[in-house]
Amino acid sequence: MAIRTILHYPDKRLREKGRQVTAFTPELQALIDDMAETMYAAPGVGLAATQIGEALQLFIVDVAAEDEPSDLRVFINPEIVERHETVTWPEGCLSFPGINEDIDRAARITVRALDRNGDPFELEAEELLAVAIQHEYDHLQGVLMIDHLGALKKRLVSRKMQKRAEASV
């Protein structure tokens, strides 16, 4: 396992849509393990493959509290099939370090995906798990947290991230 580099906005690769996963190879299993190690080290509750420069329809989520055992979930080729009600949730993103904004999301969702072995599953989620799934799903579509903000907040966050990127060069 290895910790991968997380791409930060405004890196253009964050806008790439993930390709469908068609083969459940040892390389895919290693990628999932690397993603988990990277997410936990960051630390975060979710990570999409696109955030580490792998344009695949794959993300992981673990919303277990610090005092609870890990509840790592792997979503491959996911599809959100139902959305119910709306909730405003404070969100952060590993690709937007230091940024936290209130984002409107569905309060409850149903998602269909494949697990790390290629077995299909369907999951009904609410609260933080639903929000995390929607956030990571967006990454696979090339949609970022900033896209859910109003024009003024979007400009402010974009400027802050641009300055951060220029300072790290």
User: What is each CA distance from 74 to 42, 52, 96, 120, in whole angstroms?
Assistant: 18, 16, 22, 11
The region, left, alpha or beta by phi > 0 then psi within -120 to 50, assigned to residue 133 is: alpha
Distance CA 34, CA 2 (A): 5
Task: Identify whether the C-beta of residue 8 lies closer than 8 Å to the C-beta of residue 96.
Answer: yes
Catalytic-role residue among 68, 101, 136, 166: 136
Known catalytic residue: 68?
A: no
- 46: which DSSP letter? E
Nearest to 96 by CA among 153, 23, 17: 153
User: Buried b vs exposed e over 112-148: b needs ≥16 C-beta within 10 Å?
Assistant: ebbebeeeeeeeebeeebbbbbbbbbbbbebbbbbeb
- Which active-site residues does the annotation give? 136
